[in-house]
Chain A
Amino acid sequence: DTAVSQTPKYLVTQMGNDKSIKCEQNLGHDTMYWYKQDSKKFLKIMFSYNNKELIINETVPNRFSPKSPDKAHLNLHINSLELGDSAVYFCASSRIQGVGELFFGEGSRLTVL
């Protein structure tokens, strides 16, 4: 049973479109995250939610809007996609906010044409 699952795994779309990536964790964790891994493989945090409440918003354009309907789900919606949004987006969760071990999903590779 997958602990942190993301869909879709691959997403190819045109500039200007709006798209969403979904994430679910079945670990009973309180905190969930979105990370972005760019072409140079650097992983940077985008958002963190603790019990459905936004904790971290790291200088991300407001075209990116996370939504947490409950503490097991954290979705990422992106409006007006740009070429520079092409990356792999990773969802993660931890039991304790910030200081616990992180469990990652397998990533969603977004390609904007």
Chain B
Amino acid sequence: KQEVTQIPAALSVPEGENLVLNCSFTDSAIYNLQWFRQDPGKGLTSLLLIQSSQREQTSGRLNASLDKSSGRSTLYIAASQPGDSATYLCAVCEGNKLVFGAGTILRVKS
């Protein structure tokens, strides 16, 4: 059974810092891995999708990497801003469904 773990559970950083969020999964037989952002009381917004054959994806200040063989992904956020404060969720796609981690709550202090 696929299990997705995200570390740390919560993170508080000053504005401007670069930071890394970690995601690990137990079964490497995945189609893709997706990173989402969830703001309080809101739905999820897709940030990056990495296909199983890819190693990384970039969008603006965000860079996500995937090491399928070791079951790990990282989300790198450069020059963090207070507007980046949210919960970041990692999800792996196996078969027809996504399996989510519990998320990392990020707070960027101004």
B97 at the interface (CB under 8 A from A): yes
In Å, the complex CA distance between A7 and B26 comes to 36
B95 at the interface (CB under 8 A from A): yes
Question: Which segment, of B38-46, B59-67, B69-77, faces chain A?
Answer: B38-46
**Contact across chains for A90 and B102 when beta carbons are under 8 A apart:** no
Q: How many residues of chain B have a CB within 8 Å of chain A?
A: 23
Which residues of A lie under 8 Å from residue B89 when comparing CB positions? 43
Q: Taking the nearest CB of chain A, how far is it from the CB of B110, in angstroms?
A: 25
Contact with B along A5-46 (1 / 0, CB 8 A): 000000000000000000000000001010000001111110
Q: Kindly identify which residue among B44, B87, B93 contacts A104, using a CB–CB cutoff of 8 Å.
A: B44
Q: Taking the nearest CB of chain A, how far is it from the CB of B91, in angstroms?
A: 8
Q: Kindly identify which residue among B41, B42, B93 contacts A98, using a CB–CB cutoff of 8 Å.
A: B93
A97 at the interface (CB under 8 A from B): yes
**Contact across chains for B44 and A90 when beta carbons are under 8 A apart:** yes
What are 20 A-B pairs with beta-carbon distances under 8 A?
Answer: A4-B43, A41-B87, A41-B102, A41-B103, A42-B100, A42-B102, A43-B44, A43-B91, A50-B96, A56-B97, A92-B44, A97-B96, A98-B97, A101-B46, A101-B49, A102-B44, A102-B46, A105-B43, A106-B42, A107-B42
Residue positions of A touching B, CB distance < 8 A: 4, 31, 33, 40-45, 48, 50, 55-56, 58, 90, 92, 97-99, 101-107
Given contacts A101-B46, A104-B44, A106-B43, 8 further A-B contacts (CB under 8 A): A58-B97, A98-B31, A98-B93, A102-B44, A102-B46, A102-B98, A104-B36, A104-B45
